[in-house]
Amino acid sequence: MLTGRKIPVIMAVGGFDPSGGAGILADIKTVSSLGCYGVAVLTSVTIQNTRGVLDVHHQSAKTVRDQIAALEDDFQVSAVKTGMLPTEEIVDALATALSAVEPRFLVVDPVLNASAGFDLAGISMKAIIGRLFPVASLVTPNANEAARITGITIVDRESMERAGREIQTMGAQAVLIKGGDMGSEEAVDILIDSKGVLELSGPKIHSSNTHGTGCTMASAIAALLASGRPLREAVRMAKAYVAAAIRTAPGLGHGYGPVNHFHAMADHGAEG
Ligand code: PXL
């Protein structure tokens, strides 16, 4: 129970994954398990399971605008985390609404594809770059997304850093390039912030239970920033949180399974 201070409210703006591994369900689970209160703005209903995305039903800009207005009218939002933003109109509605929400932190996960390959945001990436990067506290592309955003071929640490710096020149205060999908045995991420460059390295966990790790990482960072952690500490802690979530994944589904968002909570065991 929190006493003496208000629980930070995190607004997750993204798609609905009915299997619960990615999108706003993953966001809400993550921020809840890290001691924050999550509210969510739905941008698209995706039809998917752990095997892949079968279809998408994008919401209108008005639906997105109205959800944000209802929340903004009632809550003080500490941090906004964005994921799947499938249309330019939705990005515009969100960018305009942000000036009323006035979050202290904006974490932009520039989602392009689902783990299984489905294109979730290809057509709106220009708008995300133009309208959200300039007001972002942090942008969190994986190597593939960073390559698509910058046109830089990413093969090693040096090219990751170059792409990160390029994204910083697009207006983001800080950029985290996640190299977990790259070939090496280490999961190396590169953070570029106002202090310079920080390399974060951890052993790669070989697992097919990686569905929604990008959503989870960005949401964990948003929750930790809103809880008062400095950026570098928030990123380090979020990386450890995601690694433990993959390690303790429940092993559900037949494709890319979900991670365990609640690994830090006590296991009280099953009765009977
Ligand atoms: O992890 C990217 C992502 C974001 N948002 C939604 C998704 C996915 C991947 O499947 O389904 C809704």
102 phi-psi bin (left φ>0, alpha ψ -120 to 50, beta other): left
Q: Ligand 1 test: best mutation among 17, 41, 53, 261, most atoms within 8 Å of CB? A: 17
Query: Given a cut of 60, is residue 172 above it in pLDDT?
Result: yes
Residues above pLDDT 70, as percent of the chain: 93
- Looking from the CA of residue 84, the nearest atom of ligand 1 is 5
Q: What's the whole-model pTM score?
A: 0.95
The predicted-structure confidence for 107-163, as pLDDT tens digits, reads as follows: 999 998 766 667 777 678 999 999 999 999 999 999 999 999 999 999 999 999 999
pLDDT at 267: 54
Q: Return the residue whose CA atom lies nearest to atom 10 of ligand 1.
A: 114
Query: Given a cut of 70, is residue 95 above it in pLDDT?
Result: yes
pLDDT at 4: 57
Question: Given 30, 43, 150, 213, which residue is catalytic?
Answer: 213
Q: Return the residue whose CA atom lies nearest to atom 4 of ligand 1.
A: 23
Q: How far is CA 47 from the centre of its chain?
A: 19
> Residue 21 — very low, low, confident or very high, per pLDDT cuts 50/70/90?
very high
Average pLDDT, the chain: 93
Query: Given a cut of 70, is residue 50 above it in pLDDT?
Result: yes
- Rounded to the nearest angstrom, the distance between the alpha carbon of 26 and the centre of ligand 1 is 9
Query: Given a cut of 90, is residue 99 above it in pLDDT?
Result: yes
Residue 29 catalytic?
no
Which residues have a Cβ under 8 Å from the Cβ of 4 and sit 6 or more positions away? none
pLDDT at 269: 53
Phi, psi of 196 (to 5 degrees): 135, -140
The closest of 158, 195, 192 to 177, measured between CA atoms, is 192
**Using CA atoms, how far apart are residues 35 and 14, in angstroms rounded to an integer?**
20
The predicted-structure confidence for 209-257, as pLDDT tens digits, reads as follows: 999 999 999 999 999 999 999 999 999 999 999 999 999 999 999 999 9
pLDDT at 255: 94
Residues within a 6 A CB radius of ligand 1: 14-15, 17, 22-23, 46, 48, 83-84, 111, 114-115, 120, 212, 214-215
Q: Return the residue whose CA atom lies nearest to atom 2 of ligand 1.
A: 114
- Rounded to the nearest angstrom, the distance between the alpha carbon of 16 and the centre of ligand 1 is 8
Strand ranges of the sheet holding 138-139, from the earlier edge strand across to the other edge: 52-58, 37-49, 9-16, 79-82, 105-108, 138-139, 175-178, 186-193, 196-203
pLDDT at 49: 95
Query: Given a cut of 90, is residue 271 above it in pLDDT?
Result: no
pLDDT at 272: 37
